[in-house]
Amino acid sequence: MDGSCKHCLKWMWVACFYFEFMLVSAEFQRFQHPVKADGSLSFLVIGDWGRKGAYNQSQVALQMGKVGEKLGIDFVISTGDNFYEKGLATPYDPHFKHSFTNIYSANSLQKQWYSVLGNHDYRGDVQAQLSPILRKIDSRWLCLRSFLVNTEIAELFFIDTTPFVDEYFRNPKHQKFDWRGVIPSNKYLTRVLKELRCALRESVGKWKIVIGHHPISSIGHHGQTKELITLLLPILEAYNVDMYINGHDHCLQHLSSITSPLQFFTSGGGSKAWKGDFDYLDGGGDDEIKFYYDGQGFMSVELTPTNAKIAFYDVSGNVLHSFNSNQLYYTYSTEM
């Protein structure tokens, strides 16, 4: 082999190493999103939805459009499992248009969508769902593994939780997961958690909100995610995170920590729901159950510098549960 060939091979190796390094270590890309002129912010949260309009997905989308217009939302958050049953096959998969573009067509929903991956998304081609090609097809779409959105009064930290779950590696139950960019998982998770700590430590936002697919605390079908309780929850409590928002359980729920102001919200009712599938004994641990609904729906968040208002809606647009942070912090400080 002559010198020029060796030189080419060297730089091919460097390029491959750099690409792999970027896939594994560049977890938290940062985005800026402006608040309204009065300094407030509002957004909707939907999860577990992409079924080409089936299982009331279209009806939920219709009500999201109405609530989005009423609130003048700034963006939409997806908590993952964006495309059933196995994510996207390619960036040009028609599933994307049939389950996203054609469904969330209301004028009020033509805003930026910030999305995380769910376990069903990992069963397809993960790189397809992360591809910038999708943004050319529909400019609203933004899905990355882990990233941060700064909105001045709030910082939102999006975490890729699927690689945290040991069972997906040990006992996938005939399911194939696309682990490219994640293996070795221990190094990947170490970097994600380190980056999250650094980002939370530097955060100056009034509100700190962490979003992931899997629940930390839940009385739904899947219940608690023990790996998140061990690895993620201590970080959220140490840096005074206000809310953890997730999907995965196909329901709407609100649990409140009894040891800190941290609130757990599940918005996983975007399409197929699990009627009657809950476990009061094992799911929520010691956290206080504020609300549980085993049907389809979505969630809204309205933020000002001094207050956070949360509301859950059913498939008909009825408000099922609302929460005001002023009451929480008054109660918590009095009890302490």
Q: How far, rounded to the nearest angstrom, does the alpha carbon of residue 143 sit from its chain's CA centroid?
A: 10
> Percent helix, strand and coil across the chain, each rounded to 5?
35, 25, 45
Q: Is the dihedral of CA 128, 129, 135, 138 positive or negative?
A: positive
Of 95, 120, 214, 222, which one is the catalytic site residue?
Answer: 222
Q: Rounded CA gap, 94 and 213, in Å?
A: 24
Phi, psi of 65, deg, nearest 5: -60, -40
Query: Residue 7, annotated ligand binder?
Result: no
Q: Is the dihedral of CA 225, 254, 197, 195 positive or negative?
A: positive
Query: Residue 221, annotated ligand binder?
Result: no
215 contacts 224 by C-beta, under 8 angstroms? yes
Angle (nearest 5°) at CA 333 between 332 and 335? 65
Query: Residue 81, annotated ligand binder?
Result: yes
Instruction: For residue 117, give Cα distances in angstroms to 80, 89, 104, 270.
Output: 5, 14, 18, 15
Tokens of 18: 């750099």
297 contacts 265 by C-beta, under 8 angstroms? no
329 contacts 336 by C-beta, under 8 angstroms? no
Query: Residue 84, annotated ligand binder?
Result: yes
Query: Residue 120, annotated ligand binder?
Result: no
Q: Residue 222 catalytic?
A: yes
Query: Residue 248, annotated ligand binder?
Result: yes
Strand, helix or coil at 136?
A: helix
- Residue 9 Ramachandran class (φ > 0 left, ψ -120 to 50 alpha, else beta): alpha
Cis before 195? omega within 30: no
Catalytic residues: 222
Going by the annotation, the residues of the binding site are 48, 81, 84, 119, 213, 248, 250
Going by the annotation, the residues of the binding site for Fe cation are 48, 81, 84, 119, 213, 248, 250
